[in-house]
Structure 1
Amino acid sequence: MAVRAGARARTGAARRGARRAAPGLPSRGLHAVCVSRGSRRVRVCIQQPAYWPWLGAIDRIARCDLAILLDHVAIEHGTRTQFTNRNRVRTAAGWTWLSVPVRAREQGDAVPIEHVAIAEDGRWRRKHFETLRQSYRGAAGWAAQQEWLELLYGHEWSRLAPLIEATTVRLLQGFEVDTPLLRSSTLQSRSRKSQLVLDLCLEVRASTYLSGPFGRDYLDLAAFERAGVRVEFHDYAHPRYEQLHPGFEANLSALDLLLTHPAQARAILQQGTTREERAA
Structure 2
Amino acid sequence: MPHRPIESQRANGDAGRFVTPDEELTRPATTGRVASAPKRVAIMQPYFFPYIGYFQLIKAVDQFVVYDNIQYTKKGWINRNRFLKGGRDETFSIPLKKDSDYLNVVERRVSADFNKRKFLNHLSEAYRKAPHFDPVFALVEQVVMLAELNLFAFIRNSIDQTCAYLEIATPILVSSMLPIDHALRGSDKVIAICNALDADTYINSIGGRSLYDKDEFKRNGLTLKFLQSKPIEYRQFGAAFVPYLSIIDVMMFNEKSTVRDLIELSCDLL
Q: TM-score band, normalised by the shorter chain?
A: 0.7 to 0.9
The residue number in structure 1 matching 2:247 is 254
The residue number in structure 1 matching 2:160 is 169
Q: Deviations over 1:222-276 (max 9, x none)?
A: 332122111111111341011135221111011111122133221233452x231
Give, in angstroms, the shift of residue 96 of structure 1: 1.0
Judging changes above 3 Å, is the alpha-carbon distance between structure 1 residues 34 and 207 closer, same or farther for their aligned structure 2 residues? farther
Q: Could you tell me which of 63, 68, 77 is aligned with 2:74?
A: 77
Q: Could you tell me which of 54, 76, 95 is aligned with 2:51?
A: 54
Is contact 2:87-2:237 (8 Å) kept?
Answer: no
Give, in angstroms, the shift of residue 170 of structure 1: 2.0
Q: Could you tell me which of 96, 106, 109 is aligned with 2:101?
A: 109
Structure 1, unaligned runs of 5 or more: 1-18
Judging changes above 3 Å, is the alpha-carbon distance between structure 1 residues 166 and 41 closer, same or farther for their aligned structure 2 residues? closer
Deviates more, 1:94-103 or 1:141-150: 141-150
SS at the partner of 1:217?
coil
Task: Give the aligned CA root-mean-square deviation in angstroms.
Answer: 2.4
Structure 2, unaligned runs of 5 or more: 1-7
Question: Is 1:135 aligned to 2:129, yes or no?
Answer: no
CA distance in 1: counterparts of 2:170 and 2:88, whole angstroms: 32
TM-score (norm 1): 0.81
Judging changes above 3 Å, is the alpha-carbon distance between structure 1 residues 174 and 58 closer, same or farther for their aligned structure 2 residues? same
TM-score (norm 2): 0.84
The residue number in structure 1 matching 2:220 is 227
Is contact 1:92-1:245 (8 Å) kept?
Answer: no
The residue number in structure 2 matching 1:97 is 91
Give the aligned residue type for 1:42.
K
Q: Identity rate of aligned residues, in percent?
A: 23
CA distance in 1: counterparts of 2:70 and 2:110, whole angstroms: 17
CA distance in 2: counterparts of 1:140 and 1:85, whole angstroms: 27
Give, in angstroms, the shift of residue 113 of structure 1: 0.8
CA distance in 2: counterparts of 1:127 and 1:238, whole angstroms: 33
- Listed as ranges, the matches of 1:1-280 within 5 Å are 24-27=17-20, 28-30=22-24, 39=36, 42-78=39-75, 82-103=76-97, 105-106=98-99, 108-123=100-115, 125-189=116-180, 190=182, 191-244=184-237, 246-263=239-256, 264-272=258-266, 274-277=267-270
SS at the partner of 1:235?
strand
